[in-house]
Amino acid sequence: MEEIQSQSDHYRSSSSSASSPASRVPAFNFFYLRKPGSLGQPISFEDSPEWEDTDADVRVEEGGGDSINAATTSVSPSLSKLNSGSLPSPHLPEGAAVARKIAGASVAWKDLTVTIEGKREYSDNVVKGSNGYALPGTMTVIMGPAKSGKSTLLRAIAGRLPPAAKMYGEIFVNGARMHMPYGSYGFVDLETTLIGSLTVREYLYYSAVLQLPGFFSQKKSVVEEAIHAMSLGDFANKLIGGHCFMKGLPSGERRRVAIARELVMRPHILFIDEPLYHLDSVSALLMMVTLKKLTSTGCTLIFTLNQSSTEVFGLFDRICLLSNGNTLFFGETLACLQHFSNAGFPCPIMQSPSDHFLRAINTDFDRIIAMCKNWQEGPLLKSKGKASNATRIAVLTWRSLLIMSREFKYYWLRLILYMLLTLCIGTIFSGLGHSLSSVVTRVTAIFVFVSFTSLLSIAGVPVLMKEIKIYASEESNQHSGALAFLFGQLLSSIPFLFLISISSSLVFYFLIGLRDEFSLLMYFVLNFFMCLLVNEGLMLAVVSLWKNIFQSVLTLVTIHVVLMLAAGYFRIRSKLPGPVWTHPLSYIAFHTYSIQGLLENEYLGVNFDIGQVRSISGFQALHSAYDISPRSNAKWENVLVLFLMAVGYRILVFVLLHFYARKNVSLHRLFRGKHNSTA
């Protein structure tokens, strides 16, 4: 904290002097380009520098070298020291240095305009003709008031615009128009879904295994580097939390975890949307010092901010000020400070002040492009290797098993609710006996058991919604895929669904007094397990479609009620009205096949005596109460239908997730292609 205080003292003394009337900076002194050797050093200020009203001409010499020469005319000694990088850099926390260096990448955007139809009442232009750049080992901040276009500009540079957005302009990476390949950049959203039941180290380890190829043991060093880089050592073995039964990490540390997740890929460029979101002033300063330390590795850092304190402002290298989508200023932080501190820029008559500032700051963007080419550290960025689908499925399965076993509300709460419901149904329908008169009542008991337990499964919608959000967060950065997510979710849920099915089946089976044969009991368990599996797939499909808890619950309740009406209990299947109710509802109702199989399992091969000389079969006894098949293998056909329905629902989920992801990617590429073709 003493080091942070000393750093803030340096800035306070400089800011007070810079705002004095004597300090003036002309219109042509806004770009202060450093020499290549000083990129790793943040801007630092001398106490009470003396600024002179002298012109500075910045030119880029391309002939013969990879360096950028910043030539100035009669610039003050303080400014010369600033450009040469000879001023001392602010001290960072002890032991905070990251050993591994990252080859950063330069990013430049020219005449960038983003339109979103209906976003604003008066104009569809969210960002208007923005120009700027970011260099390796520096922090570039996009600042402005609410709804000024900060997040939109950040997403446009990173290629993460929503499908409804259209982008015009050019984006250069290391001096070339190109997409940022996988692994070359990281993006941290404003709201990042974390897994509260995992520790910080576990969460980052599973993220590393999902993202990176190679053996599991090789990922541990990457995770430790990310923990060290974000100063999470004291929290590495603590649960992320955030639930009522767990004490979660503070908001500042949770934000660090979200950033650390992207660092396991060792990206060249890191984009962060509001890194100080929901942080107090002290946490914000600590976060920015940590990010400043991160730039010392060579990483290019671009992020957005609403506002910042004086101490935090002094850590920035470059600043892009937006207002209503317009870029009011882009340049070095010190130049911005003096620009807005002094009134030495008379605006010409009949000219917009914002246009005047833009022309004064960004007079020749071609020099920026040439500068970015000179800063190129090697060949064009290439995609890093990904973990295989088999590895991702294995990791997601194990991670989900760990989460489900730790979080009470995933399946343990559902298990308790199922047991209570089964006890209620079993005690109500207990003592039925095995006479002919008990057949209709037992049909009712089995219908109630299948229908009500399926309806109770809707309690798991919030959990599935969270899984979808985690998948969406990981898929947006290409850490996961629809196929790996579905297999991981399926394999991890099978043990818990089987535990629910066998415990509920045992209670119901013996309280109702069904036939006392082990093979029949095992079929009952299998049938109910397949019913739960189908219902889980149906819930996943609805949640994937709506991505909203209220709409998903409302849709599922409606679907279950309609399927219960068409299941053949209230009116047997052969007598249902042909259009709609028989075809297709009675055939797509999984209740129908589950109840049919359970009744065939109980009554096929059973005879009931009527008097002393006559008997009827179980099929005949059920004929007026429920439609079943007289064939001996019919119950297995019903299980097969349930299995195919479980597969079908998950294929539907895959299509929904895959189509949504492909739609986003294709639209982004389409817009990027249009921009490059018009250049």
Q: Is residue 54 part of a domain?
A: no
Number of domains the chain contains: 3
Is the confidence at residue 371, as pLDDT, over 90? Answer: no
DSSP 99: S
CA pair distance 124, 62, nearest whole angstrom: 39
Is the confidence at residue 233, as pLDDT, over 90? Answer: yes
Is the confidence at residue 304, as pLDDT, over 90? Answer: yes
Mean pLDDT score across all residues of the chain: 79
**Same domain as 234, residue 224:** yes
Among positive and negative, which fits the CA dihedral 202, 204, 207, 211? negative
Q: Is residue 637 part of a domain?
A: yes
Cα angle: 359, vertex 364, 369; to 5 degrees: 135
| Three-state DSSP class for residue 518 | helix
* Boundary-marking domain end, from 227, 244, 266: 266
| Three-state DSSP class for residue 90 | coil
Q: Is residue 490 part of a domain?
A: yes
Provide the pLDDT for residue 243. 58
Q: What is the mean pLDDT of residues 288-314?
A: 87
CA pair distance 560, 590, nearest whole angstrom: 10
**Same domain as 557, residue 666:** yes
407 closest CA partner among 562, 244, 174: 244
Provide the pLDDT for residue 245. 57
Global pTM reads 0.74
Q: What is the mean pLDDT of residues 374-388?
A: 72
Provide the pLDDT for residue 349. 57
Q: Is residue 496 part of a domain?
A: yes
Provide the pLDDT for residue 18. 35
Q: What is the pLDDT of residues 508-548, one digit of tens each?
A: 999 999 999 999 999 999 999 999 999 999 999 999 999 89
**Same domain as 479, residue 333:** no
Provide the pLDDT for residue 476. 85
**Total number of residues shown for the chain:** 679
**Same domain as 206, residue 135:** no
Q: Is residue 86 part of a domain?
A: no
Mind giving me the DSSP string for 451-499?
Answer: HHHHHHGGGGHHHHHHHHHHHHHHHHTTS--HHHHHHHHHHHHHHHHHH
Is the confidence at residue 199, as pLDDT, over 80? Answer: yes
Cis, bond preceding 21 (omega within 30 deg of 0): no
Is the confidence at residue 191, as pLDDT, over 90? Answer: no
Band (pLDDT 50/70/90 cuts) for residue 163 is confident
Is the confidence at residue 45, as pLDDT, over 60? Answer: no
**Same domain as 296, residue 261:** no
Band (pLDDT 50/70/90 cuts) for residue 372 is low
Is the confidence at residue 583, as pLDDT, over 50? Answer: yes
Provide the pLDDT for residue 611. 77
**Same domain as 235, residue 275:** no
* Boundary-marking domain end, from 316, 341, 373: 373
Is the confidence at residue 591, as pLDDT, over 60? Answer: yes
Tell me the Ramachandran region of residue 515: left when phi exceeds 0, alpha when psi lies from -120 to 50, beta otherwise. beta
Q: What is the pLDDT of residues 249-294, one digit of tens each?
A: 988 899 999 999 999 999 999 999 999 888 888 888 899 999 999 9
Is the confidence at residue 550, as pLDDT, over 50? Answer: yes
In order of 210, 447, 601, 610, the CA distances from 637 in angstroms are 39, 19, 12, 31
Provide the pLDDT for residue 179. 80
- Higher-confidence residue of 157 and 51: namely 157
User: Residue 583's domain spans which residues?
Assistant: 389-670
DSSP 340: H
**Same domain as 663, residue 546:** yes
Provide the pLDDT for residue 54. 32
**Same domain as 343, residue 487:** no
Is the confidence at residue 72, as pLDDT, over 60? Answer: no
**Same domain as 277, residue 197:** no
Q: Is residue 8 part of a domain?
A: no
Share of the chain above pLDDT 90, in %: 48
Q: Is residue 136 part of a domain?
A: yes
Provide the pLDDT for residue 323. 82
Q: What is the pLDDT of residues 418-470, one digit of tens each?
A: 999 999 999 999 988 888 889 999 999 999 999 999 999 999 999 999 999 99
- Higher-confidence residue of 44 and 406: namely 406
* Boundary-marking domain end, from 223, 238, 266: 266
**Same domain as 289, residue 206:** no
Cα within 13 Å of Cα(153), Cβ side? 34
Provide the pLDDT for residue 338. 66
In order of 246, 538, 579, 625, the CA distances from 592 in angstroms are 41, 15, 17, 13
Q: Is residue 55 part of a domain?
A: no
**Same domain as 325, residue 261:** no
Q: What are phi and psi of 26, to 5 degrees?
A: -70, 175
Among positive and negative, which fits the CA dihedral 168, 174, 176, 182? negative
- Higher-confidence residue of 366 and 299: namely 299
**Same domain as 252, residue 272:** no
Q: Provide the CATH number for the domain around residue 299.
A: 3.40.50.300
